[in-house]
Amino acid sequence: MKTIFSGIKPSGDLTLGNYIGAISNFVQLQNENKCLFCVVDLHAITVPQEKLELRKRTKDIAALYLACGIDPNKATIFIQSEVSAHNQLAWILECNTYVGELNRMTQYKDKVLKEGTSALTSGIYTYPVLMAADILLYDSSLVPVGEDQLQHVEIARDIAVRFNNKYGETFVIPEHYVPKIGARIMDLQNPTIKMSKSSSAKGCILLLDDPKIIRKKIMSAITDSESSIKYDIKNKPGISNLLSIFSIISNISIKDLESQFVNSNYGEFKKALADELVDFITSIQKRFVEIRNSQQLDDILDQGAITANNIGSRKIKKVYKKVGLLRK
């Protein structure tokens, strides 16, 4: 049995990309592993957040974890800021991470290119170290993430190896788990960029979007000037993206979908996808409404925080001792 950790930031509404790249894999992995799924609110505040919105979104994400099928009897679900060991470990790891390593993080470099540095916080610069702490605190061996997070799991590995070499065996070296299909769901209006709440509103499906809007976004997705429904990322990125979405949602392989729609035009294919997606997302939304304001959600998060604090505080004791900090 492996220990699995992953997290999602409450920095915006959850997208279909988050579901396919991350949550759908959490749901699969929970059956045979010891899983911890976190709402990483400390990561969200690396950029400005409105406090009431942040509180609301933090609970929205926890409720969506459950609505998407994460089972609290199988996995631990908790809020990052309720477990102080994350911050405690992050500081120790920061003192064992080089500035040069952080300078190489492509997500950070892209942000600097786009926005300059004057409005960037040091939190956004060091956040890969907090992410490493999230992972290493629980001796996680597998980290399910979308493609954009690979470099951050890689730096967590590097930090763990370095720490173990310096202080003796302490951390499990984590590996990433990236799905074969859906590791990078693309924007429906611009299939060369990642689907993200910060890209385009029309190109991004939110898990809490109105079904009518979902249908509209799928029907107006950019395709190409041909008419064949074939998976070919290079020449047909739009249709390939829609095929990936269809495949994950329906559990039908891309090959079978290609055969099923061999005589259909793009309009027919999109309509079938929209029907499937609306059914799928509507059932998530129904469960979300039931769970969101229930006492059950608070109870699950309280229990999750207890479990995570137990593991985290034991680990932090060991780490403090190794580093030479006084701790009974």
Return the range that interacts with ligand LTN (CB under 6 A); candidates 94-102, 145-153, 202-210, 256-264: 145-153
Is residue 25 a contact partner of residue 144, using CB atoms and an 8 Å limit? yes
Write each residue from 158 to 187 as x if it is in contact with ligand ATP (CB under 6 A), else as -, in one continuous string. Answer: -------------------------xxx--
Catalytic residue among 9, 194, 270, 315: 194
The partner in contact with residue 143, picked from ligand ATP, ligand LTN, none with C-beta cut-offs of 5 to 8 angstroms by kind, is ligand LTN
Q: Does 6 bind ligand LTN (CB under 6 A)?
A: yes
Question: What SS3 class is residue 302?
Answer: helix
197 assigned to active site: yes
Q: How far apart are CA 24 and CA 8, in angstroms?
A: 13
In the three-class reduction of DSSP (H, G, I as helix; E, B as strand; rest coil), residue 38 is classed as strand
Q: Six-digit token pair at 96? A: 């064992």
Judged by CB under 6 A, the chain residues 116 through 155 that form the site for ligand ATP are 145-146, 148-149
Contacts of 133 by beta carbon, 8 Å cutoff, 6+ apart: 86, 87, 89, 90, 93
Binding flag, residue 197, ligand ATP (CB under 6 A): yes
DSSP assignment of 247-284: HHHHT--HHHHHHHTTT--HHHHHHHHHHHHHHHHHHH
| End-to-end C-alpha distance for the chain, whole angstroms | 31
* Binding of ligand LTN by 157 (CB under 6 A): no
Binding site for ligand ATP (CB under 6 A): 8-9, 11-12, 17-18, 20-22, 145-146, 148-149, 183-185, 194-198
Question: Given the rule CB under 6 A, which residues bind ligand LTN?
Answer: 5-7, 9, 40, 43, 131, 134-135, 143, 145, 149, 152
Kindly list the catalytic residues: 111, 194, 197
